[in-house]
Each structure stands twice: as structure tokens, then as C-alpha cells.
Structure 1
């Protein structure tokens, strides 16, 4: 497994402190984020998942705890949109340049508006995908907010 991905390169360029963790990715897992948390031995609230959505038809990125779901109504409001829905997996891959299960909020092909759930943003440290299936970066969510220019809002249910 390569430890150099567009995500880690973006973090390096920005001077963000992080550590890498790897785990055995299970492509058959019902919930990829929860499988990652279990494999890492970390609480699900500290292993964040990255989702690609469409808000009023435009792509956006969402980051929240792996054991939580997104309120599309709250998300749309945070993005200043009328509606929000999950992007199709093929669209998420095309938009980000990453494979589903390895989507990172960093180093995507195009910078997307990003919303990070308020509870996740308040953590001192968390894992987020490092741009490859089975690769996680552990960092301060405050660095994620700053680097991505993310909106912080209570979007989880």
C-alpha cells in the first residue's frame, strides 16, 4: 500500500501534522466507516467518514462520525441549498478521483464545498480517510476545517 496519496501530499504541502494508520479494508462491509473503526480499535465517533453529496445538483463533501447519518435537510441548510442527496458512487469517484471506500476530503480533483459535523469538528484528534482503501490519517479536526475552508454545522442525526 502506498502511503503517498493526493491526500497525504496535500497535508504535507499545507504543513499539517498527522500520523498514518493502515488496516485491512473489507470491501464486503455493510458500513465501511464502522469496519475501519473496528479494525483500528478506535471509537466510531473518532473515525470520520467522507461522503459526496449533491446540493441543488452541485457536488459537495461531508465529513462526520462513522456511526452517524447525515440529515439531508440540515446539510442543505448548511450549504445554502434547498435540497441535498447522496451522489451516486460512480459520480463520487469521478468528482473526487478516489475510489469509494478510499475517498478523502483532502487532495480531491476539484475543491468542493465541505461541511464537517460540529461534534466531529470539536474532537481533539480523529481519523479520516487518507485517499486509499485501508489508509487513514489521524489529525486534529481543527486543521481539517482550516485547510478545507469547511463549514462546521450540526448535520448528524
Structure 2
């Protein structure tokens, strides 16, 4: 079990786990998951951590087919600017290794935003807390568990 799975179970929400053999040489964890799970890549969302105004951390959840728009997440958070957080900050605040960062069950709860495109699907996939393991759940359940807001984030 991972903290992400424990978080979903504790909340009593409906979810499904999907495991696949992760290839360490894969150039994109999300696109690898889409291919190995035979689902459209637009339904797989990556969890990215940013630093707002050089101080506080926040989470952006965007489709693996797009990029996080740093201006959009800064605007959503009421900050002047955002930059990608350093890998060690991400691992320390989330409790997960890069490539397996889940928005669920993070060590430190951060302000979280989900790209509004998630609303187009009955379910989406996010990392379940380790490489090669995805959790499928309804976008509204994801937002509830993360106390997240839906906003335009992806480019």
C-alpha cells in the first residue's frame, strides 16, 4: 500500500488500481502508463509541484499530453510567479519519488489545482504513489481528496 491508496480507501471513494511493469528507460512516465494500460493519454494526469513567488509550494495536476502553464497556476494561486520546485523539495514535501508523485496522501498538504480538462472524463488516472501504479477515480473525488480547485492550467 501507498499513502495515496490509503487516503482513497480511508475516504471511502470508488477507485481502481492499475499496475504495469515500469521501464526505467521510458522518456515519459505518463505516456508509458497510457500505452501499457491501453487508455488515451488525455486521461492520465501528472502531478507537478511548483514554488510560488520563491516561497510556498503548490501542486498542479495536468494531462500528460500537455505542459503546466506557470503563469496560469501563479494566477490561480494569487501569486506573481511560479517556477518548478527543485526535485529534492518535491520529494521532501510529497514523500514520493519523482515519477511516482501522487496528488493523494502527500506528507504535506499543499494548495492544489487540477486542469479543468479533467471534467471531460468520468474517471482520470493519477499516480498511486510509485512508478508503474496508477489510481483511477472520478475527477470530483480527486478534487475532494486533494481539496483542489479546477482551473485552466495546461498548454
User: Given the alignment, which residue of 41, 46, 50 partners 2:38?
Assistant: 41
Q: In angstroms, what is the RMSD of aligned CA positions?
A: 1.0
Work out the CA distance in 2 between the residues paired with 1:6 and 1:121.
Answer: 25
CA contact (8 A) 1:122 1:142 kept: no
CA contact (8 A) 2:60 2:153 kept: no
Q: Secondary structure at the match of 1:127?
A: strand
Quick check: 1:124 aligned with 2:115? Answer: no
Quick check: 1:62 aligned with 2:60? Answer: yes
Q: What TM-score do you get using the length of structure 1 for normalisation?
A: 0.94
Structure 1 segments of 4 or more deviating over 4 A? Answer: none
Shift of 1:34: 1.0
List runs of 5+ in structure 2 lacking aligned partners: none
Quick check: 1:107 aligned with 2:105? Answer: yes
CA contact (8 A) 1:47 1:65 kept: yes
Work out the CA distance in 2 between the residues paired with 1:66 and 1:111.
Answer: 22
Q: Secondary structure at the match of 1:85?
A: strand
Q: Secondary structure at the match of 1:7?
A: helix
